[in-house]
Amino acid sequence: MSSYLTEGPTLRQWLTTTDHKKVAILYAIAITLFFFIGGAAAVIIRLELATPQGDLVPAQTYNELFTAHGVIMVWFFLIPSIPSVLGNFLIPLMIGARDLAFPRLNLASWYIYLIGGVGTLWGMLLGGVDTGWTFYTPFSTMFSNSHVIIVVLSVFFTGFSSILTGLNFIVTIHRLRAPGLTWFKLPLFVWAHYATSIILVLATPVLAMTMVLIVIERLFQVGIFDPALGGDPLLFQHLFWFYSHPAVYIMVLPAMGVVSEIIPTFARRKIFGYRFMAYAIMGIALLGFLVWGHHMFTSGMSMYAGMTFSLLSFFVAVPSAIKVFNWTATLYKGSITFDAPMLYALGFIGLFTIGGLTGLFLAALALDVHLTHTYFVVAHFHYIMVGGAVAAYLGGIHFWWPKVTGRMYPEMWARVAAAMLFFGFNLTFFPQYLLGYEGMPRRYHSYAPEYQLLNVLSSAGASILAIGYLLPLCYLAWSLFYGRHAPSNPWEGRGLEWKTLSPPPVENFSNPVVVHSHVHEVAGEGAA
Amino acid sequence: MSLTTIDDAGRLETVRLGMWAFLASELMFFGPLLLGWAYGRISMPDGFAWASRQTDLWLGTLNTAILLSSSAAMALAVQLSALQLKRQVGRCLLACAALGVVFLLIKFYEWHREWAEHLFPGPDFAGPAHTGAPYFFVVYFSATFLHAIHLTIGIGVTLTMWRRVHKSLGPLPQPALHAAGLYWHFVDVVWVALFPMLYLVERTP
């Protein structure tokens, strides 16, 4: 049986494929490119901040750099990362399906994503945008002289790629599960993507319309968000965060799904509290829609609204803590090995916990007045998005690399990279908590000299982080040609995806799949 | 090959579920406009109410009737497709698309009049100095324009379906017809919400 990689090998066949596995790889290539472009902006930011004076780039360029970093990393790397690459590849395999429900729509999502990405890069090449990734009004609509419209329209466009991917996952999970694979037998990875898809489908359109309203206000100079013309800037912030807070869960829920597959495999235990893990995922997705106001405590909000948003934000900690405790409990009495995916997963638990708990500092009304708009916020969300989501993405890439490519990655190098990323990450971002607590505001390209020591530490950490990201790029590429051939199930994993060949055949399974027992002891009759 | 695939008998259900998920997304897409409307009405009631009374009630009502009739034609097309009545289905689809075009023509005429009366927000806006009046018209033009774009897409989809029905030799493409029907009704329902919001509610004595 020929693998999906050898079937239809020409460039034209790749670009017109509707195989979910190949579309996943198209996504992987595209988001890797955007990751390193967004990363390059971060490198210049950290170099600039190594000294208190604004000496490397002018202030305007600095604004354009952090905007480019934010826009590219959020919409062109993090949002599509785990869902569009790993989710796309694995969901049909994990539920025993031949493909997603709408394979052509899946390919269309990739092209829409690409058009948005190229549009954004074009805007950056024309001179960039200086509004920050948040596009706050009325600056973005009335005052900024940068290329707001093209970038905003690109983000609008890319949103539809997210919506179509989410829609595809929802329908696939509802309709294409193998006989016997009931909801509470689904792997937590699939649950996480189901919850994420609901957010993608319901939150992304709100951002899309908000972007349209920015374009309308900017083009026609009519008042929606500009108070001088009878609009209200707070309306923009409410709309923007109604999407952008759930967007955090678009990034972190799939990451939780990945970790929930890795931990039981390398602890050789069943996941502890499976049902509660599934409920917690859905709980986080639901609560995530109700907490956007915590981004606006200092922008003007009634005391009662503030208290409500604060309380609801604290509630998010409950399902999050359930997940952390259950992963930890899964390790208890486990027979643990520290392969690279496990290192990433364990790193995730620690970094996510720190990021989550510091989120509670920011959700506390009084403390937020002191911490908001400082580096504390920057550190907090990088712990969630980089320490959490990116670490899980890399963990997942290593974990399923044998399945996707049919090759083993070099274990020693992978462990080195995982360790470098963990230490580099903490060295980069932990000092930023201290900087923020001491009052250093975010988004400034020069700062008071007393902040220099911590900034130098942060920049030093970033250089380790950069090497940590370049390493996997090198050895994973190497392993494509020289890596050991992978068996079907190198980790003794229990999911359905391990029951087929590595790499899987075009049809995913050679025989019909029927699930008899709990998913973690699946009797896949499609064993190849 | 008995892996679950999209060719299974549940194709109709699969496509319908996909369309419902898409429509949920579309509903949220219109959400910011609804919120913006509610915000304007609550926080700038005087100018907002004045502006809202400048809309053309009769043309709005006429258009509502036209769009509801088009939805009836679409519903009929979907129902008749189950009986494989090819010619009748084709006629219903054509009637539906034609009514959609009439709606758009009337809407263009309405916009044209409003533009001539200086109701488009800007330096020579004809309204009173009340805040809220230009804001209403931003919401009005944005919402009706986005609705018109959706309707244009709907007309394109309906005509494509008509071509497929017209040319089909075998059984009618039921899943696609159902999906097109759901989309058309959604566009109709958006108008049914916009009509009272923009034309009616401020006219109560």
Within 13 Å and on the Cβ side, how many CA atoms surround B183? 23
User: CB of A231 within 8 Å of any CB in chain B?
Assistant: yes
Q: Is the pLDDT of residue B40 over 50?
A: yes
Mean pLDDT of chain A: 95
Q: Cβ contact (<8 Å) for B21 and A170? A: yes
Q: Where are the domains of chain B?
A: 29-203
User: CB of A239 within 8 Å of any CB in chain B?
Assistant: yes
Bridge partners, residue A378, by sequence: none
Q: Is the pLDDT of residue A176 over 70?
A: yes
Instruction: Give A211's contacts (C-beta < 8 A, 6+ positions apart).
Output: A135, A152, A153, A155, A156, A159
Instruction: Between B106 and A230, name the one with better pLDDT.
Output: B106
User: CB of B125 within 8 Å of any CB in chain A?
Assistant: no
What's the pLDDT at A102?
A: 96
The DSSP line for A447-502 is: --GGGHHHHHHHHHHHHHHHHHHHHHHHHHHHHHHHSPBP-S-TT---SGGGGS-S
Which candidate, A148, A13, A161, places its Cα nearest to that of A71? A148
Q: Are A519 and A186 in contact (CB under 8 A)?
A: yes
Sort out which chain A residues have CB atoms less than 8 A from B13's CB and list them: 175
Sort out which chain B residues have CB atoms less than 8 A from A180's CB and list them: none
Which pairs count as long-range contacts for A306-309, CB under 8 Å and 24+ apart, including other chains?
A: A306/A365, A307/A365
Q: Which of B31, B43, B146 sits opposite A206 (nearest CB)?
A: B31
Sort out which chain B residues have CB atoms less than 8 A from A235's CB and list them: 35-36, 39
Sort out which chain A residues have CB atoms less than 8 A from B37's CB and list them: none
Share of residues in chain A with pLDDT > 70 (%): 98
User: CB of A334 within 8 Å of any CB in chain B?
Assistant: no
pLDDT of A247-290, one tens digit each?
999 999 999 999 999 999 999 999 999 999 999 999 999 999 99
pLDDT of B158-194, one tens digit each?
999 999 999 888 888 899 999 999 999 999 999 999 9
Residue of B nearest to A181 (CA): B4
What's the pLDDT at B129?
A: 62
Going from the C-alpha of B149 to that of each of A365, A384, B100, B143, the distances in angstroms are: 43, 39, 11, 10
Q: Provide the ipTM.
A: 0.92
What is the spatial distance between Cα A469 and Cα A269, in angstroms, rounded to a whole number?
30
Q: Cβ contact (<8 Å) for A171 and B30? A: no
What is the spatial distance between Cα B142 and Cα B149, in angstroms, rounded to a whole number?
11
Q: Cβ contact (<8 Å) for B21 and A201? A: yes
Q: Is the pLDDT of residue B3 over 50?
A: no
Q: Is the pLDDT of residue A520 over 50?
A: no
Measure A344 CA to nearest chain B CA, in Å: 34
Q: Cβ contact (<8 Å) for A507 and B30? A: no
Q: Are A513 and A524 in contact (CB under 8 A)?
A: yes
Token pair recorded at residue B180 = 């097109």
CB atoms within 10 A of CB A19: 25
Q: Among A102-106, A176-180, A276-280, A519-523, whose mean pLDDT is lowest?
A: A519-523
Task: Enumerate residues 146 to 165 of chain B having a beta carbon within 8 A of any beta carbon in chain A.
Answer: 146
Q: Which of A97, A201, A512 sits opposite B25 (nearest CB)?
A: A201
What's the pLDDT at B10?
A: 85
User: CB of B122 within 8 Å of any CB in chain A?
Assistant: yes
> pLDDT tier at B2 (50, 70, 90 boundaries)?
very low
What's the pLDDT at A92?
A: 97
User: CB of A203 within 8 Å of any CB in chain B?
Assistant: yes
Q: Is the pLDDT of residue B128 over 80?
A: no
Measure A448 CA to nearest chain B CA, in Å: 41
What's the pLDDT at B6?
A: 44
Measure B71 CA to nearest chain A CA, in Å: 25
User: CB of B42 within 8 Å of any CB in chain A?
Assistant: no
The mean pLDDT value for B33-46 works out to 94
What's the pLDDT at A284?
A: 97
Q: Cβ contact (<8 Å) for B138 and A222? A: yes
The mean pLDDT value for A162-182 works out to 96
User: Can you say whether residue A57 is alpha, beta or left, with left for phi > 0 and alpha for psi between -120 and 50 degrees?
Assistant: beta
Sort out which chain B residues have CB atoms less than 8 A from A112's CB and list them: none
Q: Cβ contact (<8 Å) for B135 and A224? A: yes
User: CB of A103 within 8 Å of any CB in chain B?
Assistant: yes
pLDDT of A208-223, one tens digit each?
999 999 999 999 999 8
Q: Cβ contact (<8 Å) for B5 and A97? A: yes
What's the pLDDT at A463?
A: 97
What's the pLDDT at A526?
A: 40
> Mind listing the domains of chain A with CATH numbers?
17-407 (1.20.210.10)
Q: Cβ contact (<8 Å) for A512 and B3? A: yes
For residue A97, the SS3 value is: strand
Task: Enumerate residues 491 to 520 of chain A having a beta carbon within 8 A of any beta carbon in chain B.
Answer: 507-509, 512-513
Q: Cβ contact (<8 Å) for A209 and B33? A: yes
The mean pLDDT value for A141-156 works out to 95
Q: Cβ contact (<8 Å) for A229 and B3? A: no
**CB pairs A-B closer than 8 Å:** 119
CATH of domain B29-203: 1.20.120.80
What is the spatial distance between Cα B32 and Cα A292, in angstroms, rounded to a whole number?
15
Q: Is the pLDDT of residue A334 over 50?
A: yes
